[in-house]
Amino acid sequence: MGLFPNMIMDAATNASLQIQWNNFNLLNGNDWTPSIQLALLMTLLMLAPSIVMLTTSFTRIVIVLSFVRNALGLGSNPANPIIIGLAFFLSIFLMAPVGERIYKTAIEPYNLHKITSKQAVEIGCRHLKSFMLGQTRAKDLEFFLDLSRLEKFPDKREDLSLTIVIPAFILSELRTAFQMGFMIFLPFLLIDFIVASILMAMGMMMMPPAILALPFKILLFVLVDGWSLIVKSLVKSFF
């Protein structure tokens, strides 16, 4: 008596799994096989943190915030989770327009079966590439173009492949972040020089200047509303 209900339950479970798999399919019709889809999905899941960090505004923001902490001489304050969290949410704010365009032109049409997954990926990559090209220096693009040794160079920047755009974008972001970090360090370095000069003039050579300079750095940073200035500068640097 219990065999028939169990068979019904098994059949319903298999049908449910089949429906979920059909909805989960990354490709339609004659696209890639399920094994290739699963391999691509697992690869994307493993590389997702790196993709988020290196193809968005996250890299510049987290480096600049780390420079601020080091310039103040606060050691591990703010803690790494706070720095990373602030960089993450600022990145969400800055990348929201790009994500909205990707959703409307790629994900939504794909969910409605108007385009294939290959077309959706191409459209999404085009929007992401447009953002990266807007922040990439021509010198860095030329450098990787020369290294690629292509037989024929694309006529437009938008036609460049991601294998060229992404490393050029990362290089440009690192350079911009370090330039901003240098400008942040200058006023705090000036405070260190002043404090060290005063201590030397008073003959207190054994007193570490960093100990006396730290309160003045924090006071200056609070008086000028430093965190707001840093965040505003970071946001404006992408526009």
How far is 65 from 227, CA to CA, in rounded Å?
9
Domain containing 96: what range? 56-184+227-236
pTM score of the predicted model: 0.77
How far is 232 from 127, CA to CA, in rounded Å?
24
The total domain count for the chain is: 1
How far is 232 from 227, CA to CA, in rounded Å?
8
Measured from the Cβ of residue 35, the count of other Cβ atoms closer than 10 Å reads 8
Unique residue bearing structure tokens 């790629």: 106
Q: What share of the chain is helix, strand, coil (3-state, %, to 5)?
A: 80, 0, 20
Q: Contact at 8 Å (CB) between 205 and 199?
A: yes
DSSP string, 13-74: HHHHHHHHHHHH-SS-TTS--HHHHHHHHHHHHHHHHHHHHHSSTHHHHHHHHHHHHHHHT-
Tell me if 34 is assigned to some domain: no
Q: Contact at 8 Å (CB) between 132 and 165?
A: yes
Tell me if 124 is assigned to some domain: yes
Question: Long-range contacts of range 29-36, CB-CB < 8 Å, 24 or more positions apart?
Answer: 29/116, 31/116, 31/117, 31/118
**Among 220, 190, 196, CA closest to 208:** 196
Output phi, psi for 136, to 5 deg: -105, 135
**Among 101, 141, 148, CA closest to 123:** 101
Entry field: residues in the chain: 239
Tell me if 24 is assigned to some domain: no
Tell me if 148 is assigned to some domain: yes
Report CA-CA distances (Å) from 89 to 83, 85, 121: 10, 6, 25
**Among 25, 56, 52, CA closest to 41:** 25
Output phi, psi for 205, to 5 deg: -75, -20
pLDDT digits (tens), the chain, 239 positions: 444 344 434 444 443 434 344 444 444 444 566 777 777 778 877 877 888 788 899 999 999 999 999 988 887 888 899 999 999 999 999 999 999 999 999 889 888 888 888 888 889 889 999 999 999 998 999 898 888 877 777 778 788 888 889 999 999 999 999 999 999 989 888 888 888 888 888 877 777 777 888 888 888 899 989 899 999 999 999 98
